[in-house]
Amino acid sequence: MAPPFVYAPSSGTGTCQDAAIKAAFDGDLRRLRGTVKSLDDPRVIFSFDMGGGIGVLHIAAVRGHLEVCKYLVEELGGDVNAPAPGVGDFAGVTPFMSSAQSGDVSTVKYLLDHGGDLTKSDAKGRTVLHHAACIGSCTVTEFLLSKGVPVDIDCGRGTPLHQAATNEQDKTVKILLEHHADPNATVIGIGTALMGALLYRSLKCMKLLIKGGADVNRGGSLPMTPLVFTTGWGGYTNFVKFLLKAGADPNIPDAYGNLPIELAAKRDCIEEVEMLFPLTSPIPTIPNWSIDGIISHAKFESAKPLDGRQLEQTKATLKAHADHLFRLKDYKVASKAYGVAIDVAPSATLYANRSLCKLLLDDGEGALSDAECCDLTG
């Protein structure tokens, strides 16, 4: 979830809804009171929607406008635990959860004191602590932990540490680890927090996680180690170097028996092969155990017709992984997972699925691009 949670509203059309949303966004209590007075039923204000189910109390909370929150809660009876409706990115998000992203402890404390539920989760399994951690709100994260929120609270979609790591929030990763968060907890679809940080190329988070006890050879629910992932997909050469220095074992194969050095050689990445060579045990099927010999062998093997059964199995595994993430409504990670599957074996179905993910993430241009690729591969 990328900040900001709520963007500045447009000038609108001059309706009461536009005026109320603008007043809540700006923290203009006088103007908000004036708008409410013009309504036949003051509580109608809670039906006003900025989009995605985000109402006026959500807006005031995420902006840290304490006085507006007090007015909406105490005078108009606003519910701090009212979930945003719908199926979008903010489905199930409450005003209390929204306040965590304001960075304003006084607003968070006020909503907590007025019934904020510390353990309630949104449609993506994120509690108020998850929201604070994923946005990098250090003071709010510390405050919530001081109130007894379990550091590893997990509503089925991962811990706050996973959220912080996959959103590149190294400062909240550090805080959570200092409060003894489990760096090896796993979540279906992402694996460990270390794998999540790797997927989003956050070297800072990876360093903190390994220092905090993360197992560098553990993929969790994913059928691969971090080193297998980096050597298998390309573009991660700096991470290969880092993982090896951190103690990653280059002799652990992927699900099909390929060692990281073989994966790097198949991509013709000499730099990675050179890094892996001194640390990899000789492979009996490669007669010339040298850097040149390994690369030549990989080219020879790559020239052979693909094993259809293995390819279909790989495609099925990757697609099932991405489909699972889609069902969990984690469209951001699902989009990346479909991308990995497309790299292996592009198909119209995979492009169509990724296009839908991007559409749900409001990436219209990306969705259109994938839809066009879908037509080309169909």
Task: Give the residue-averaged pLDDT of 190-201.
Answer: 90
Q: How far apart are CA 62 and CA 5, in angstroms?
A: 7
User: What pLDDT is attached to residue 378?
Assistant: 58
For the ranges 62-71, 269-278, 294-303, which has the lowest average pLDDT? 294-303
Place of tokens 């965590």: 100
Confidence class of residue 89 from pLDDT cuts 50, 70 and 90?
Answer: confident
Q: How far apart are CA 230 and CA 12, in angstroms?
A: 47
Place of tokens 């996680």: 209
The reply to whether 269 and 316 lie within a common domain is: no
pLDDT tens figures, 29-75: 999 999 999 988 989 999 898 877 889 999 999 999 999 999 999 99
The reply to whether 291 and 227 lie within a common domain is: yes
Amino acid at 140: V
The reply to whether 256 and 291 lie within a common domain is: yes
Task: Give the residue-averaged pLDDT of 255-269.
Answer: 92
Residue 226: both structure tokens together = 């971090």
Q: How far apart are CA 164 and CA 170, in angstroms?
A: 7
Give the relative orientation of helices 364-377 and 348-360 as an angle to the nearest 10 degrees.
Answer: 170
Confidence class of residue 8 from pLDDT cuts 50, 70 and 90?
Answer: low
233-242 CB contacts, 8 Å cutoff, 24+ apart: 233/340, 233/343, 234/267, 234/269, 236/198, 236/201, 237/269, 237/271, 237/272, 238/203, 239/198, 239/201, 239/203, 239/206, 240/264, 240/272, 240/275, 240/276, 241/275, 242/203, 242/206, 242/207
C-beta of residue 166 within 8 angstroms of C-beta of residue 137: no
User: Does the pLDDT of residue 3 top 50, yes or no?
Assistant: no
User: Does the pLDDT of residue 312 top 80, yes or no?
Assistant: no
The reply to whether 292 and 341 lie within a common domain is: no
Kind plus residue range of the DSSP H or E element containing 192: strand 191-192
Q: Which of 270, 287, 304 is the last residue of a domain?
A: 304
Share the mean pLDDT of the chain: 89
Q: How far apart are CA 50 and CA 61, in angstroms?
A: 14
Confidence class of residue 177 from pLDDT cuts 50, 70 and 90?
Answer: very high
User: Does the pLDDT of residue 181 top 60, yes or no?
Assistant: yes
Give one word for 365, left, alpha or beta, with left for phi > 0 and alpha for psi -120 to 50: alpha
The reply to whether 230 and 298 lie within a common domain is: yes
Q: How far apart are CA 194 and CA 209, in angstroms?
A: 6
Place of tokens 């993929």: 219
- Could you give the number of structural domains in the chain? 2
C-beta of residue 80 within 8 angstroms of C-beta of residue 119: no
The reply to whether 265 and 289 lie within a common domain is: yes
Q: Which of 253, 271, 304 is the last residue of a domain?
A: 304
User: Does the pLDDT of residue 327 top 90, yes or no?
Assistant: no
The reply to whether 329 and 261 lie within a common domain is: no
The answer to whether residue 268 sits within a structural domain is yes
Q: How far apart are CA 307 and CA 309, in angstroms?
A: 6
Contacts of 297 (CB under 8 A, 6+ apart): 265, 285, 286, 287, 288
206-214 CB contacts, 8 Å cutoff, 24+ apart: 206/239, 206/242, 207/242, 208/170, 208/173, 208/174, 208/177, 209/165, 209/173, 209/177, 209/183, 210/246, 211/177, 212/177, 212/181, 212/183, 213/183, 213/184, 214/183, 214/184
* Bigger pLDDT: 143 vs 334: 143
Proportion of the chain above pLDDT 90, given as a percent: 64
The reply to whether 327 and 290 lie within a common domain is: no
The answer to whether residue 365 sits within a structural domain is yes
Task: Give the residue-averaged pLDDT of 171-198.
Answer: 92
Amino acid at 304: K
Say which CATH number the domain at 273 has.
1.25.40.20
Q: Which residue range is the domain that position 319 belongs to?
A: 308-377
User: What pLDDT is attached to residue 2?
Assistant: 42
Q: How far is CA 309 from the centre of its chain?
A: 32
Say which CATH number the domain at 353 has.
1.25.40.10
Q: How far apart are CA 97 and CA 126, in angstroms?
A: 9
Task: Give the residue-averaged pLDDT of 320-335.
Answer: 83
The answer to whether residue 72 sits within a structural domain is no
Residue 308: both structure tokens together = 């259809």
* Bigger pLDDT: 24 vs 188: 24
Q: Which of 269, 304, 339 is the last residue of a domain?
A: 304
